Amino acid sequence: MVRKRTTAIAKALAKKAKTAGKERYVLRLYVAGMTFKSSQAIINITQICKDHLKGRYDLRVIDIYQQPTLAQGEQIIAAPTLIKKLPLPLRRFIGNMVDREKILVGLDLRPKKD
């Protein structure tokens, strides 16, 4: 019985290792109208998703002027704000999203440099 359980755990870990790095990302980008900063954030995050998350992301851009209740529900206090809902842990990025390295590290797509 113990041997079967150990084998099952080993198989589950092997499967998880194969799918590691293939998690689906759920991202929400909150912007305030079509300002320069908003446009830059949309361009930068879209490019990061295309380059690093091909086919495994759900990016939704939400204009807080058009959908204020969504922004209120997420407690958005500044825009642009990017929220990584999945995979956990939840993360928030605030600003124009030009620091590509910071975004990649925050999304767990690149290891943090010491």
In this structure, what CATH number is given to the domain that contains residue 53?
A: 3.40.30.10
pTM flag (> 0.85): no
Q: Which residues contact 17 (CB under 8 A, 6 or more apart)?
A: none
Expressed as residue numbers, the domain containing 26 is 21-106
Sign of the alpha-carbon dihedral angle for 80, 85, 87, 92: positive
- The answer to whether residue 28 sits within a structural domain is yes
Whether residue 84 contacts residue 106, with contact meaning beta carbons closer than 8 Å, is answered with yes
The residues with which 29 forms a beta bridge, in sequence order, are 61, 82
Burial class (CB in 10 A: 0-12, 13-18, 19+), 74: middle
Report the domain count for the chain: 1
- The answer to whether residue 31 sits within a structural domain is yes
- The answer to whether residue 44 sits within a structural domain is yes
**CA angle (105 as vertex; 103, 107 as ends), nearest 5:** 65
Whether residue 43 contacts residue 82, with contact meaning beta carbons closer than 8 Å, is answered with no
- The answer to whether residue 16 sits within a structural domain is no
- The answer to whether residue 3 sits within a structural domain is no
Q: What is the pLDDT along the chain (114 residues), one digit of tens a residue?
A: 545 555 665 454 444 434 455 899 999 999 999 999 999 999 999 999 999 999 999 999 999 999 999 999 999 999 999 999 999 999 999 988 999 999 999 999 988 776
Q: What integer pLDDT is reported at residue 17 of this predicted model?
A: 39
- The answer to whether residue 57 sits within a structural domain is yes
Which of 112, 114, 96 has its CA nearest to residue 48?
A: 96
- The answer to whether residue 14 sits within a structural domain is no
- The answer to whether residue 87 sits within a structural domain is yes
